[in-house]
Amino acid sequence: MRRYNLRLRDREFTIDVQELSADRFAVVVDGQTYDVVLSGDEDLPDADITPALQPAGAAAGHAQPAARVAPTRGAAAPTAALATAPVAPRPRAGGGATLSAPMPGVILELFVKPGDVVQRGQQVAVLDAMKMHNVIGAPAAGTIVEVCVAAGQAVGHGDAIVRFAEA
Amino acid sequence: MEGADTLALLMQGIHHVTPQSLVMIGVACVLFYLGIARNYEPLLLLPIAAGCLLANLPLSPLIAEDGMLRVLYQMGITNELFPLLIFIGIGALTDFGPLLENPRLVLLGAAGQFGIFLTLIAALLLGFSRPEAASIGIIGAVDGPTSIYVSGVLAPHLLGPITVAAYSYMSLVPIILPPIMKLLTTQAERRIRMPYSQRQISRRTRILFPIVVTVLVGTLVPFATPLIGMLMLGNLMKESGVVERLTQASAQEIANTVTLFLGLAIGSTMVGSEFLKASTLAILVLGIVAFAVDGIAGVLFAKLLNRLSGGKVNPLIGAAGLSAFPMAARVVQKVAHEEDFENFLLMHAMGANAAGQVASVVAGGVLLALMGAGGH
């Protein structure tokens, strides 16, 4: 087993990767276990880190964990884990207000797209937490600038769901 | 002569139809209706209704010696096997994470058991014997398998009505709780926000928790050992992550199979002469009192916690302390969300709810200990 400690937007993630077979990994991200299948694994000439991990470096400016994750055999596993794990947000300057997940769960449905005008309380998404469907409403009236998650995606507490410009 | 005998033999079914059995077939139909049309805990009520129907047909071979329903009853009810097997599945489905993140919620789980003891006293006053009163009180644990386990030990003849009351009222939690919650809280209290504070619960803690609880509860309340032991076994399998297949089987295949057997066996105890008594009516009434008192005690206790914490606890989460996992927690979330769509109490409510689950089991063990029964 290999443990990675990552810092992402001021949040610490502990990621444990257990190699089950050549292409199957059990990945534990903050206590949540994911089954991860490694579908590709290659060294890229000009990147010391695979693209999906880019936000970590960009957000926290933390070079050390990135370097540790680099092109070892297991490197693709945390990449795959992060794709399903609650770490979607891309930092963006001046995006206005953010509606973030009030608790960990899975986004089931999204009712808005960029450019939509929403009213306060309007349904934005349905978050499945503890097997309960929770309607997430817009905290203020405004225009959706960016939808940060996709339906089916796992989110952690505080992860951005949408960014919007307040009216 | 011979012709008349043949006719009598062929007609003996009809000759053995009694008014009682007809009423019980009617009861079975009501349970079918509740389960199928109203969707009240259909997984249990449908098999119970089927067991009841089949047991009350004239001369039913199913409850004769070596009849299937009787075999099921002896296989898993008299020796408590079925409720315990179901508990493994419940443990495998329960996430104690929210409770570990906020351990003081354990108090709400304890408060949510208050109805047990009040109902027990009420049942004693109504003239039930001590073991009977304790079995009726356990409806207030708001946990089906615990109710079955305790009444199976203390008062097996009341198993039918107690189980029906426990499961029907459990499905009514979304109807029984909200009025109580709204009556006992002000709008300002219902709007208290409790932000979710994600605390890291390590895998080691999650694995140690079921082991420690088993040892602790088992030592303090030996009568609760079977229930807590199976509940925590299921949870340990889930949290360990190394026996995925066993966890799946416990939570799905075994739990489903046993639910079918359990429902049929309990339904088969509901034969006219045992069920059609004033005591059944009293149990149904006392059961709903137990549920209501649990909810009231939970909310009032959460109000107290709110005072003590300087206004940081939303009293609504107290209602989740009565067990009925995870339905009660969802009801809490729903009521809070109606009041303020940006307030998400679910994780806190789940914590109180998981605490209620453990507290129900402990309360069951305490009752058995008080009655001096169940140990060998």
**Domain containing A118 — which CATH number?**
2.40.50.100
Mean pLDDT, chain B, whole residue set = 92
Neighbours of B59 (CB within 10 A): 11
Q: How far is it, in rounded angstroms, from Cα A137 to Cα A115?
A: 17
pLDDT one-digit tens code per residue, A89-129: 444 444 478 999 998 899 999 999 999 999 999 999 999 98
For the record, the structure tokens of B274 come out as 């045992």
- Mark yes or no for CB contact A139/B333 under 8 Å: no
- Mark yes or no for CB contact B202/A104 under 8 Å: no
pLDDT one-digit tens code per residue, B11-43: 888 888 899 999 999 999 999 999 999 888 888
Under the banding of pLDDT at 50, 70 and 90, the label for residue A86 is very low
Count the domains in chain A.
2
Q: What's at B87, amino acid-wise?
A: F
By the 8 A CB rule, do B48 and B163 touch?
Answer: yes
Under the banding of pLDDT at 50, 70 and 90, the label for residue A72 is very low
Residues of chain A with C-beta less than 8 angstroms from the C-beta of B241: 26, 28, 33
Of the listed ranges A159-163, B39-43, B290-294, the least confidently predicted one is B39-43
Q: Which of A130, A132, A156 sits opposite B95 (nearest CB)?
A: A130
Instruction: Tell me: do A21 and A78 sit in the same domain.
Output: yes
- DSSP code of residue B250: I
Q: Answer whether residue A22 is part of any domain.
A: yes
> Which percentage of chain B shows pLDDT scores above 90?
77
Instruction: Tell me: do A102 and A67 sit in the same domain.
Output: no
Range of A43's domain? Answer: 2-84
Q: Answer whether residue A92 is part of any domain.
A: no
Instruction: Tell me: do A110 and A54 sit in the same domain.
Output: no
- Mark yes or no for CB contact B346/A134 under 8 Å: yes
Q: Answer whether residue A108 is part of any domain.
A: yes
> Which percentage of chain B shows pLDDT scores above 70?
98
Under the banding of pLDDT at 50, 70 and 90, the label for residue B223 is very high
Last residue of a domain, one of A84, A115, A132: A84
- Greatest Cα pair distance in chain A: 52
Average pLDDT estimate for B203-210: 95
Residues of chain B with C-beta less than 8 angstroms from the C-beta of A156: 198
Average pLDDT estimate for B78-100: 92
Higher per-residue pLDDT: B19 or A59: B19
Q: How far is it, in rounded angstroms, from Cα A64 to Cα B57?
A: 75
* Backbone φ, ψ for residue B90 (5° rounding): -60, -45
Under the banding of pLDDT at 50, 70 and 90, the label for residue B353 is very high
Instruction: Tell me: do A114 and A153 sit in the same domain.
Output: yes
Bridge partners, A142 (sequence order): A118, A166
pLDDT value at position B172?
86
Closest CA to B320 of B311, B309, B328, B312: B328
Q: What b/e sequence results for B284-305 when a residue is b if at least 16 CB atoms lie within 10 Å of its CB, and e otherwise?
A: bebbbbbbbbbbbbbbebbbeb
Q: Answer whether residue A89 is part of any domain.
A: no
Judge if pTM exceeds 0.90: no
Residue listed under structure tokens 């315990």: B84
pLDDT value at position B374?
47
- Mark yes or no for CB contact B196/A157 under 8 Å: yes
Instruction: Tell me: do A80 and A103 sit in the same domain.
Output: no
Q: What's at B110, amino acid-wise?
A: A
Q: Answer whether residue A129 is part of any domain.
A: yes
Q: Answer whether residue A21 is part of any domain.
A: yes
